[in-house]
């Protein structure tokens, strides 16, 4: 039931040494906000209009799931979508299995949204998603009264039976995961009374912001020991709103780092979201000496956005503060590539969550760096990359992407600045988050070749 089928044949691609990147580009809409817009629109009464929706595989699968549950989801024009929701608790059982493809966010948030509605749904996904732990979301959803069945190890396919008489809960999310936090917040919407979800480490807050915008009763309290508690009052009445999705900083990361690495480059990336829970990469690159300016900072659709101006830079290795990791959790593949071109070593720790992303990302990064002549030490929760200086990375290797879009894009960027092209075994999965990647990068001057 995948909305727009990803071709099953691998598509190997080469990133080739490129001339200076020049020009201005606008990155696609934020993936996290796109998923949440569709889900909350589907739970609200009245019309939600979304502009700038990310039209990528992951998000299209969420749109399809929201439709299968009874909401009306219509693409009106490129990037412009309307959702007519059913009201909280109004979803009906889907007729078919819900297939989320590669999308951890879509599937885990939808588990939360369904957990307090009396219906049964089966969740599945591609070979990558079927290896990812679902117990971290399902176990706490049980507190609301939901029941479930999984494959051994808490894997998909998962059958989830939403609670007929949900209870409000108090739950402390034990890991730095916005997906788990968000699933619990969405489930709270149809439980009577107030649920309290807390987390020691702050993670992206798009669900909280959007719940407030849709009219939910929500409060955020700081915890004395650090972190915060979020209180959501259930049997909520959400009302449709207008949402303008800002540019995705996690997609911007690829042209951004490419411009820092390819000599002579100077580019502008328009209207990139600057939510502080998402800007860890910018802070890290600035500490590494990146020539990076933010101009025209403004509010757009409830988020801070700004234009990024990047010029090729001589980077130096640093120790990335582990406390910053949640604010750049998706950016480690491309940061590791930047570190390979830096002077000196870059130390990255506190990365245990990378082991349960679209691939074991830590292992995939380390293998990709080694395949291209970069020395790197791997530990259970981190890596130390020995930088080779600007232009110093040999390249010439082939990288196994393990169905992981960010591994594919990061190593294609490496090839633009390395001595020899870098091949990725399969670029297909880039369509899950950034279908226009090749076109946008090509427009700035990046060279790719079929491998």
Which residues would be at the binding site for ligand S3P (CB under 6 A)? 32, 105, 177-179, 182, 204, 329-330, 353
Residue 82: both structure tokens together: 């309307």
Which of 37/265 has CB closer to ligand S3P?
A: 37
CB of 178 to ligand S3P, least distance (A): 4
Minimum separation from the CB atom of position 173 to ligand S3P (A): 9
Q: Report the nearest approach of ligand S3P to the CB of residue 109 (Å).
A: 7
Q: In the bound complex, what is the minimum distance in angstroms from residue 326's beta carbon to ligand S3P?
A: 7
Nearer to ligand S3P, 291 or 353 (CB): 353
Q: Which residue has the tokens 């690159």?
A: 285
Q: What angle do CA 355, 134, 424 make, to 5 degrees?
A: 40
CA 281: distance to chain centroid?
14
Other beta carbons less than 10 A from residue 110's beta carbon: 29
- Give the residue from 190, 2, 199, 198 showing the smallest Cα distance to 99: 2
Q: What are phi and psi of 429, to 5 degrees?
A: -70, -10
> What DSSP string runs through 222-246?
E-TTSSEEEEEESS---B--EEEPP
For ligand S3P, the closer CB: 195 or 199: 199
Q: Closest Cα partner for 124 from 147, 146, 96? A: 96
- SS3 call for 380: coil
Say whether 330 is catalytic: yes
The rounded distance, in Å, linking the Cα atoms of 398 and 363 is 15
The structure tokens listed for 2 are 């995948």
Of the listed 30, 330, 425, 426, which one is catalytic? 330
Shortest spacing between CB 162 and ligand S3P, in angstroms: 21
Q: In what order do the strands lie in the sheet with 147-151?
A: 98-99, 120-124, 155-161, 147-151
Cβ closer to ligand S3P: 209 or 419? 209
- Label the pairing between strands 13-16 and 422-424: antiparallel
The residues that are catalytic are 330
């Amino acid at each position: 039931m995948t909305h727009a089928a990803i071709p099953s044949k691998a598509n190997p691609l080469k990133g080739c040494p490129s001339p200076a990147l020049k020009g201005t580009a606008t990155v696609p809409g934020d993936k996290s906000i796109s998923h949440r817009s569709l889900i909350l629109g589907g739970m609200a009464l009245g019309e939600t209009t979304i502009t700038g929706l990310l039209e990528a595989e992951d998000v299209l699968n969420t749109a399809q799931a929201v439709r299968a549950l009874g909401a009306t989801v219509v693409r009106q024009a490129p990037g412009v979508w309307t959702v007519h929701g059913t009201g909280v608790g109004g979803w009906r059982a889907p007729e078919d299995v819900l297939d989320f493809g590669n999308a951890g966010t879509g599937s885990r948030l939808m588990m939360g949204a369904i957990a307090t509605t009396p219906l049964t749904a089966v969740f599945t996904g591609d070979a990558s998603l079927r290896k990812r732990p679902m117990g971290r979301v399902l176990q706490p959803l049980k507190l609301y009264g939901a029941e479930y069945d999984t494959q051994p190890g808490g894997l998909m396919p998962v059958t989830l039976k939403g609670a007929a008489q949900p209870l409000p809960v108090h739950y402390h999310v034990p890991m730095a995961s916005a997906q788990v936090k968000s699933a619990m917040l969405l489930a709270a919407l149809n439980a009577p009374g107030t649920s309290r979800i807390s987390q020691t480490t702050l993670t992206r807050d798009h669900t909280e912001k959007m719940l407030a915008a849709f009219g939910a009763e929500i409060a955020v309290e700081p915890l004395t020991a650090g972190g915060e508690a979020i209180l959501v009052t259930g049997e909520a009445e959400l009302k449709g709103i207008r949402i303008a999705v800002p540019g995705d900083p996690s997609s911007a990361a690829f042209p951004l780092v490419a411009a820092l690495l390819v000599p002579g480059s100077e580019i502008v990336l328009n209207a990139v979201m600057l939510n502080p829970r998402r800007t860890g990469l910018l802070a890290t690159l600035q500490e590494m000496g990146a020539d990076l300016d933010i101009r025209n900072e403004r509010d757009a659709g409830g988020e801070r956005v700004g234009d990024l101006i990047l010029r090729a830079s001589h980077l130096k290795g640093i120790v990335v503060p582990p406390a910053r990791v949640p604010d750049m959790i998706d950016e480690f593949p491309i940061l590791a590539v930047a570190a390979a071109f830096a002077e000196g070593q870059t130390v990255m720790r506190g990365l245990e969550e990378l082991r349960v992303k679209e691939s074991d990302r830590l292992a995939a990064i380390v293998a990709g760096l080694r395949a291209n002549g970069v020395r790197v030490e791997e530990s259970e929760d981190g890596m130390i990359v020995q930088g080779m200086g600007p232009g110093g990375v040999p390249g010439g290797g082939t990288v196994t992407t393990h169905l992981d879009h960010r591994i594919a894009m990061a190593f294609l960027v490496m090839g633009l600045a390395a001595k020899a092209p870098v091949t990725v075994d399969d670029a297909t999965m880039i369509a899950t988050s950034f279908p226009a990647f090749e076109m946008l990068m090509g427009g700035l001057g990046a060279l790719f070749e079929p491998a």
